[in-house]
Amino acid sequence: MFRVSKLMQACGNRLTQSQSSDTSTSPKLLPQSTSVANYPLRSGIQPTEAQSIQQVSANYYGNPKKLDTIPEEITEAENTSVFVTNLPPDCTVTDVLSRMHGIGKIWACNTCAPTEEYLTSAMKIVFWDLAGRERLIALSKTGTFYVGSYHPEVRLNRFRTASRPWSQVSRVVGISGPTGIVNLAYLEELFSSFGFFWEADYFVVVSEVGDIRVAEYAFASYLAQAETAMNCLKKHISAGHGSPGEDAYWARVNVYWGRDPCEER
């Protein structure tokens, strides 16, 4: 228990280390014959193009003051935050969240890279409500939740976070407009110019007609990431851009909240 508490404290402060709660440092591997189910990227949507993207900033783990350094005054039974250990050493946000489609809407999550002391990765996940927490813990206990060949362990995080009422906002930002704007390279450059850092799950093109494209960019978190990107995009759309031509170009851009694929189906 001391090792687990020490690890959770390290990730709560900076989210940089991880390991299984076992006293042994050996990761738990699944049999090589284990079959991994493939979940659809988005229920009801067949994208014309999909691209999984890696972390934009390997050193960014959200705003620690907003995310998890101050536990909320709630009971353990009300806590929507879990700590997941024994993840693959090279695990990404996409690796974990792609295994959680339909489990529960994500408020925020943070990856914890392995160190010399902790040989496997870990992740803190905050669900929108208690139902998601309960589903993931149940899957972990029955051995049906796994990432690659690793069987993660899930426990309540000591940094407690309360559930939130349903809202259309999510960690997925949808954007439609000219292909010169709605493309991965330009959006990453634009987000960087806004002055915030983030971890990305995926970028997917939903449809494209002529020079107008509809795409969705999924962040690791709504908190401090998708919410910031949405606010910055809205301001950028309404702001002047120095020429009538560029203003007209941006006037064709619209943003919306996409559905989190982790949300219960």
CATH number at residue 185: 3.30.70.330
pLDDT at 6: 47
User: Does a structural domain hold residue 92?
Assistant: yes
Report yes or no: 226 and 177 within 8 Å, Cβ to Cβ.
no
Same domain (yes/no): 241, 126: no
pLDDT at 255: 98
User: Does a structural domain hold residue 163?
Assistant: no
Strands (E), the chain: 49-52, 81-87, 106-112, 121-127, 153-156, 172-178, 200-209, 212-219, 254-257
Same domain (yes/no): 93, 143: yes
User: Does a structural domain hold residue 33?
Assistant: no
Residue 140 CA: distances (Å) to CA of 64, 146, 183, 205: 27, 8, 37, 32
Same domain (yes/no): 139, 205: no
CA distance 85 to 7: 9
Same domain (yes/no): 82, 202: no
Residues 6+ apart with CB under 8 A from 117: 17, 19
User: Does a structural domain hold residue 140?
Assistant: yes
Place of tokens 């000591």: 158
Same domain (yes/no): 149, 220: no
Same domain (yes/no): 112, 189: no
User: Does a structural domain hold residue 227?
Assistant: yes
Same domain (yes/no): 224, 106: no
Domain boundary residue, one of 124, 156, 188: 156
pLDDT at 149: 95
pLDDT at 9: 52
Report yes or no: 62 and 223 within 8 Å, Cβ to Cβ.
yes
The pTM of this model reads 0.76
Provide the token pair at 247.
Answer: 């203003």
What are residue 178's DSSP bridge partners?
212
Same domain (yes/no): 6, 131: yes
Domain boundary residue, one of 114, 130, 156: 156
Specify the number of domains making up the chain: 2
Same domain (yes/no): 14, 119: yes
8-state DSSP, 239: S
Q: Domain of 113?
A: 2-28+63-156
Q: What is the pLDDT along the chain (265 residues), one digit of tens a residue?
A: 434 444 555 555 433 333 333 333 334 433 333 333 322 222 222 333 333 343 333 333 344 334 444 567 899 999 999 999 999 999 999 999 999 999 999 999 999 999 888 899 999 999 999 999 999 999 999 999 999 999 999 999 999 999 999 999 999 999 999 999 999 999 999 999 988 889 999 999 999 999 999 999 999 999 999 999 999 999 999 888 778 888 899 999 999 999 999 999 8
User: Does a structural domain hold residue 112?
Assistant: yes
pLDDT at 71: 60
Report yes or no: 146 and 34 within 8 Å, Cβ to Cβ.
yes
User: Does a structural domain hold residue 38?
Assistant: no
Same domain (yes/no): 143, 181: no
Domain boundary residue, one of 113, 129, 156: 156
Same domain (yes/no): 176, 152: no
Same domain (yes/no): 142, 180: no
Report yes or no: 123 and 88 within 8 Å, Cβ to Cβ.
no
Residues 6+ apart with CB under 8 A from 28: 20, 22, 86, 150, 151, 153
User: Does a structural domain hold residue 264?
Assistant: no
Backbone angles phi, psi at 155, to 5 degrees: -140, 165
pLDDT at 40: 28
